Structure 1
């Protein structure tokens, strides 16, 4: 019963947001509450589940709130103006080059395995270019989402760390066998970027223009630019990224401190600070509020045991005489599983059951871990409503979550399928 209600919760939630019957934040809160009541839990119990979920996402919510403020401040101050101008000049107004360049830069930036930082850096640099060239912003969010997928298999990403710890293994046995599959995924993403680029070039043509930031700024934006502080802002941002990657300071605290320093140095006058906060307050609220709403969603599904029962149901559906297909089935379904399961629920709940089942049938349990990583919260995390960074991606790209999912889902699943084929051909997983 709980399993059925769990799947119904996910299905109704997806239908509501993709048909735009409810806003994402409303659907995230209302849907699990309704099905939680139908499951027989009283309001007090549901409230406890919800507050547990909120507590779990609170650090992420704080991180994203102040990270958005920091990079918004850097945008207002003009930190990325030279980067944007250089890219515009190099691509010469060609949408194809812009889109392929977006994919390449995203992959490079995402070598650190941090989706949040990647989205903030890449979208801050490229969004003005897409607006200037009138390229569909769904292409921006879609290509960035695709590009982080294969790179998110790096062993220091949170997703890979979960798989490695669950299977009590190491990067040598989990990551290394998947390298050929990752390369295949990278090539697929570049191919998709080329396809999107050709379509946008056909639609828009190659725009011949000289990009001049001063001519494209409003009066208010010009007043907020701080060209004399360019080097300070650049060094501060580089230092912030280094500290973030090294983990010297907890990320939420780091961005709180960095955003305050950035505001104080760039805009020492209170009126200027208030103007920056007012300009970006709506975006900050939308991102942070969705994070806490997502915490309620996952908290109720986890606390009510719906997720646990859904996992057991999925395992029971696998016929014993086809157990040899378990790694392949895990790989193929790993991308859609990102819509159903949080990484914790999947890697700490589903993967142990699948790997134990594999062991009973004489299959190397590590194949389950490698297969799961080909999609579940790697390729899948930038389209999943269960991860905070998805909301940051669509928020910064200024697109709707449902539209983003419809636009890029089949291409993302294509990434997983290509990597699955690569894994089968190179022996990372077996039929």
Structure 2
């Protein structure tokens, strides 16, 4: 029953999300609630949701204060020198702007955190996108490519889970994947060039007035240098994990408020100005906790994963690495990384071991779906991207899914060609 319930829930969820018949917040709350009631989980439903809220709370605090911090830095003019340099380098050419977006996106993605990518890249580029009238859904697609690949760095999360699940060294999993990941980077730059050509045909090349774009941000004086030191220190702290990430952003935001806006009324004004955008992200994020809590605590996620594994024919045993790679594409969208890597991957690996497929090979294969996973409703940072670009969540999913699948296929083909993932054993 759990399997049928989970399939029906996802079908309803995807339909409502893609069709735009219901907002993402309402869909994330109502759909799992209704199906939990249908499954007879009414009495336990409250406790399930609270567990989901506890799971998402640290990420929620992180995103709320990350948004506040980078919005505050934008207000102070921290990114104005970057914008001036970017405008000088790319002018008003959509091709150069979108290629620059991907370049900066991958650079920032080295910290393995999607939220940081969106905040920094959009702080620098969003005024340019709006001035030219560039397609913001295309921008979203490109940035999702950057975070989907950046998330695969050893400190990003999924690679560590795969290695731990298969009880192999991180280097055995990640090092062979470097070349396939670089193929995905090339794929993203190709996408940027293709999208840029389309936008150039639609908009032409526009002359940008840098002074007009930055007139709301007067020179910050010594505070500009302080803010750069604070921001660089924050990013170093995030990478080194000297403190919990949410706490680091809370500290940095408090310091930034005190230094840049020492008067209480000025701090209140800034918070009130940015509250609507932050509230929008927080609502979507905590709405997702309902979906996460019910999906995991009812056992639907686990039952769905086991059913998919059981459906793999025995004749495909020698091809289990490729099967795992292909299965990871939809499954990491449907279930959390923890469910997939610690619940589903070991079962697949046990079957594969009979044919000589190693744990390291299975771990690499399991990571092929990560460019699609970044689109999952279980990924918090995607809500931030959608909110910052003021886009419809379902529309972004619809636009990005084919390109994300394309990225996964590029990684798979490169892995097969280089022997990183074996075709057959």
Q: TM-score range by the shorter chain?
A: over 0.9
CA drift of 1:361 comes to 3.6
Question: Which residue of structure 2 lines up, in the alignment, with residue 370 of structure 1?
Answer: 364
Counterpart position of 1:261? 255
C-alpha contact (below 8 Å) 2:87/2:208 kept by paired residues: no
Choose the corresponding residue for 1:281, options 266, 275, 278. 275
Partner of residue 424, structure 1: 416
Partner residue, 2:21: 21
Task: Tell me, in whole angstroms, the C-alpha distance in 2 between the residues paired with 1:311 and 1:178.
Answer: 25
**Of 269, 282, 295, the match for 1:301:** 295
Q: Deviations over 1:244-271 (max 9, x none)?
A: 1111111111111111111121111222
- 2:362 aligned with 1:383, yes or no? no
Distance 1:208 1:126 in 2: 15
Taking the aligned partners of 1:357 and 1:63, their CA distance within structure 2 comes to 39
Q: Which position in structure 1 is the counterpart of 2:163? A: 164
Match of 1:118 in 2: 117
Distance 1:79 1:251 in 2: 22
Distance 1:408-1:152 versus aligned 2 partners, 3 A rule: same
In 2, the alpha carbon distance for the partners of 1:392 and 1:424 equals 34
For 2:289 and 2:70, how far apart are their aligned partners in 1?
24
> Which residue of the partner structure matches residue 232 of structure 1?
226
Range with greater deviation from structure 2 (244-253 or 363-372)? 363-372
Q: Is the 8 A contact 2:150 2:156 kept in 1?
A: no
* TM-superposed deviation, 1:334: 2.3
Does residue 318 (structure 1) correspond to residue 294 (structure 2)? The answer is no
Alpha-carbon deviations, 1:48-80, whole Å to 9, x = none? 111011101111111111110111111111111
- Whether 2:8 is the aligned partner of 1:8: answer yes
Q: Per-residue displacement from partner, 1:85-107 (whole Å, max 9, x unpaired)?
A: 21011101111000011111111
SS across alignment from 2:172 = helix
1:17-416 to structure 2, matched below 5 A, reads 17-42=17-42, 44-212=43-211, 215-216=212-213, 221-222=216-217, 226-375=220-369, 378-416=370-408
Q: Structure 1: give runs of 5+ residues left out of the alignment.
A: none
Are 2:52 and 2:290, in contact at CA under 8 Å, matched by a contact in 1? yes
C-alpha spacing 1:210/1:345, structure 2 compared with 1 (3 Å): same
* 1:26-66 superposed Cα distances (whole Å, 9 cap, x missing partner): 11111111111111112x30111110111011111111111
Cα distance in 1 between the residues matched to 2:41 and 2:147: 39
More off after superposition, 379-388 vs 185-194: 379-388
SS at match of 2:41: coil
d(CA) in 2 for partners of 1:105, 1:332: 30
Cα distance between partner residues in 2 of 1:356 and 1:54: 33
Distance in 1 between residues matched to 2:307 and 2:350, nearest whole Å: 15
SS in 2 for 1:380: helix
Give the whole-Å Cα distance in 2 for the aligned partners of 1:368 and 1:295.
Answer: 30
SS state of the match for residue 379, structure 1? Answer: helix
In the superposition, the TM-score normalised over structure 2's length comes to 0.96
Unpaired runs of 5+ residues, structure 2, are none
Q: Which whole-Å CA distance do the structure 1 matches of 2:23 and 2:382 have between them?
A: 15
The answer to whether the Cα contact below 8 Å between 1:5 and 1:35 also exists between their aligned partners in 2 is yes
Q: Is the 8 A contact 2:113 2:150 kept in 1?
A: no
Q: Give aligned pairs, total.
A: 423
* Cα-Cα RMSD: 1.6
